[in-house]
Amino acid sequence: MQVISIINQKGGVGKTTSCANLGAALALQGLRVLLVDLDPQAHLSISFDRMPEPGDPSVYTLLTQGHSFADVTQPTQIDGLSIAPTNLDLTGAESELSSEIGREGILRLALNDLARSKNAPDLVLLDCPPSLGTLSLNALVASDSVIVPLQAEFFALQGMAQLLDVLERVKRRLNPSIELAGILVGLYSKQRNLSREVVQELNDHFGDLVFPTHVNVNVRLAEAPSHGQTIFEYAPDCGAAIQFREIARELSDRLGMLKDEPPACQPQAAKKIVPAEVSARVSEPLLEQEAE
Ligand SMILES: Nc1ncnc2c1ncn2[C@@H]1O[C@H](COP(=O)(O)OP(=O)(O)OP(=O)(O)O)[C@@H](O)[C@H]1O
Ligand SMILES: [Mg+2]
């Protein structure tokens, strides 16, 4: 069972959209995928129409009351795709957990139990909130790897230095095997020079870590959640559906999870999350900016 955080502390960059549609694409490839809603806004749960009533089992009760994934997981309309949903109760979790011993490891323990059970999925995708607090830390401690969705906009690299710094510290102190699996460019507009320039800059900084397929701006992607659907039910032939399918194929290839291919070797040594020369190029100018 592989666990991936979909994380970026910037808001509205496509984390939830990527989580729902990548998860659906991977399930349609034949993988068993669990989506976990770690955001108190509960957008992922709402987009599958699976938001629990207040007090019902949810990711909130899993983190604060000892519920297991078996207690909170619900099926979705897509075969092989399930969701551990949350509701607005999760808003209180950060402060409730603040005095809890080992609070950043609660999700990892629950996922370890799931991995040992007969219902273990092949892949778990964690939809993180737009912040780097206890909930995101739980995600990073529990994850084998990380996908960072970015918007093809001027501020795309803003905040990356902070995120890379947190990832490095998590890797050094809490989770030595965590890796950056990829950077996903969403909200891409072919017509705009700016989108192309931002992608060029990302490619210069991060090279192969950037998924070669980008998700174009597509109104169908924004509409699908209001129908409780992923793009594969709402508009299965549109460009965004094709793009998410391609990114899912690339991801399962990178992770060695293609059904008909032998698993690739997973590097376990605690090497840097991105090559030193890459993180230096990204971090230094941005850290200077942040310090100003
Ligand atoms: N490629 C796209 N084309 C058009 N709309 C998009 C696209 N990707 C995302 N959106 C829309 O942009 C908004 C933000 O996307 P999303 O909720 O996935 O971002 P997020 O990073 O999860 O946000 P938050 O930080 O608030 O959790 C949503 O309304 C979503 O429907
Ligand atoms: Mg979101």
Atom of ligand 1 nearest to the CA of 224: 31
Pocket test for ligand 1, best of 16, 36, 44 (most atoms within 8 A of CB): 16
Q: 88 CA to middle of ligand 1, Å?
A: 19
Do 8 and 130 form a contact (C-beta atoms < 8 A)? yes
In this prediction, residue 65 carries a pLDDT of: 96
Please report the domains of the chain, with CATH numbers, ordered by start residue.
Answer: 2-291 (3.40.50.300)
Q: 18 CA to middle of ligand 1, Å?
A: 8
pLDDT digits (tens, 9 = 90+) for 131-187: 999 999 999 999 999 999 999 887 878 778 889 999 999 999 999 999 999 999 998
Nearest CA to ligand 1 atom 31: 222
Nearest CA to ligand 1 atom 13: 12
pTM attached to this predicted model: 0.91
Rg, Å, the chain Cα set? 18
Measured from the alpha carbon of residue 244, the closest ligand is: 1
> 161: Cβ below 6 Å to ligand 1?
no
Return the half-sphere exposure (C-beta side, CA atoms, 13 A cut-off) of residue 259: 8
Q: 229 CA to middle of ligand 2, Å?
A: 16
> 187: Cβ below 6 Å to ligand 1?
yes
Do 122 and 78 form a contact (C-beta atoms < 8 A)? no
Residues with pLDDT less than 50, the chain: 261-271, 283-292
In this prediction, residue 161 carries a pLDDT of: 83
In this prediction, residue 280 carries a pLDDT of: 53
Burial of 57 per CB tally in 10 Å (0-12, 13-18, 19+):
buried
Helices (H), 99-133: 106-116
> 13: Cβ below 6 Å to ligand 1?
yes
Quote the tokens at residue 218: 């597509």
> 217: Cβ below 6 Å to ligand 1?
yes
- CA-based end-to-end distance of the chain: 43
Chain centre distance of CA 274: 17
